Structure 1
Amino acid sequence: MTAQVSARRTGSAQRSNAIVLLLVATAILGGGVAVAIVGGYRINLTPSEPLGLWRIAALDRVVSAGDLVFICPPQTPVIREARERGYLRSGTCPGGVAPLIKTVIAVPGQHVDIGAGVAIDGRPIAFSDLAQHDGKGRPMVPYSGGAVPAQSVFLHSPFRSSYDSRYFGPLPVSGILGLAQEVLTYAP
């Protein structure tokens, strides 16, 4: 009988130790993620840009075409619908979405034409063809085009299925968190 009691106590102690170890590991991982977010690091899990670890670097000048930026989209009806459809991941931006990583392809005053693809001031943009439907067969409504308003930018990703300004239009520069710098990434 003593051996059975001893075996139960040993099993109980092992379970307790495993739970404590799991809690400690979870706390360390959670703390590391919190420090990374506060430190300006983000993990990209979308194919719009290479997968992996990125850093938000200060943008201490006026944003210009060609800048790769992290940006929080405003809470517009189009962005809310995109979140409901699953195009945007959960994150730290207003509305609970993750910052987007996109390239600025047009700045205030430039003209955007939307047809089968995107043209900026009459210059076609490579890899900018529009999808008619998303992966679930739902219609994709493109932005109507026009001049990029003051204090706004038009964003693009060369990934065909990227959800970018082709669909939601220009975004306010006030949402830019900074430049996107690769730290440790993988482009499949």
Structure 2
Amino acid sequence: MKTPVFAFGTRSAQRTFAVVLLALAISVIGGGVAAAIVGGFRINLTPSEPLGLWRIAALDRPAARGDLVFICPPQTVAMVQARERGYLRSGTCPGGVAPLIKTVVAVAGQHVEIGAGVMIDGRPIASSDLIAQDGKGRPMKPFPGGIVPDESVFLHSPLRGSYDSRYFGPLPASGILGLAQPVLTYAP
């Protein structure tokens, strides 16, 4: 008995084989990405925190000062403009943006003052100086300051020029997806 031989001698058969192979590769890669997202893993490609693989860990209590969190920003005018300017990456949050990774520096009831930098309840926040314009020369309007509203958080990233609450103000705590935990990261 002869062993069957599969020959792809015709261009049509070769093309069909290539399309099937490509579809299989896309489904395997897509399935892996979907599993990672469903499993709470995210890849950070922004300079706000170290580059690499991060995990969203459950947060079973209210957010507190010092928590490093993943948060989906609300669809506000400031966030739409941020998306248009390229400050926010594409992702799975409402509005098609990626979750932000930021540190909670103030919670509801705390007083935020914005000057050359940020002060919370009269205490300066390290590495919080403001920039007057972005990398393309467009003006950056700072948040005017005030009391953090109920069920909201004020967020910070120590990177100079990071787009955080210095510019967009407090965000609803309901947007917090969980704590941000590095899994495999690289900080240059």
Output the TM-score relative to the length of structure 1: 0.92
**Which aligned pairs between 1:15-94 and structure 2 lie closer than 5 A?**
15-94=15-94
User: When you count helix as a share of all residues, which structure comes out higher?
Assistant: 1
Distance 1:74 1:174 in 2: 10
**Which aligned pairs between 1:1-188 and structure 2 lie closer than 5 A?**
9=9, 13-188=13-188
Query: Which residue identity is paired with 1:60?
Result: D
Distance 2:61 2:174 in 1: 13
- Residue 5 of structure 1 corresponds to none
- 1:62-109 CA-to-partner distances (Å, cap 9, x unmatched) read 210000000011111111111111110111111111110000000111
Query: Which residue identity is paired with 1:129?
Result: D
Distance 1:153 1:64 in 2: 9
Distance 2:50 2:187 in 1: 4
Cα shift at 1:13 = 4.4
- Residue 3 of structure 1 corresponds to none
Give % identity.
77
- 1:167-188 CA-to-partner distances (Å, cap 9, x unmatched) read 0000011110111111111111
- 1:34-63 CA-to-partner distances (Å, cap 9, x unmatched) read 111111111110010011111111101121
Query: Which residue identity is paired with 2:117?
Result: G
Please tell me the root mean square deviation across aligned C-alpha atoms, in Å: 1.6
Secondary structure of 2:101's aligned partner: strand
Secondary structure of 2:90's aligned partner: coil
Cα shift at 1:11 = 5.6
Distance 1:17 1:58 in 2: 44
Distance 1:57 1:147 in 2: 28
Distance 2:184 2:26 in 1: 23
Which structure 1 segments of 5+ residues have no match? Answer: 1-7
Distance 1:70 1:13 in 2: 48
Output the TM-score relative to the length of structure 2: 0.92
Secondary structure of 1:26's aligned partner: helix
Secondary structure of 1:9's aligned partner: coil
Query: Which residue identity is paired with 2:122?
Result: G
Cα shift at 1:137 = 0.6
Residue correspondences, number: 182
- 1:2-38 CA-to-partner distances (Å, cap 9, x unmatched) read xxxxxx9266544443333222111111111111111
Query: Which residue identity is paired with 1:152?
Result: S
Cα shift at 1:162 = 1.1
Distance 1:52 1:140 in 2: 28
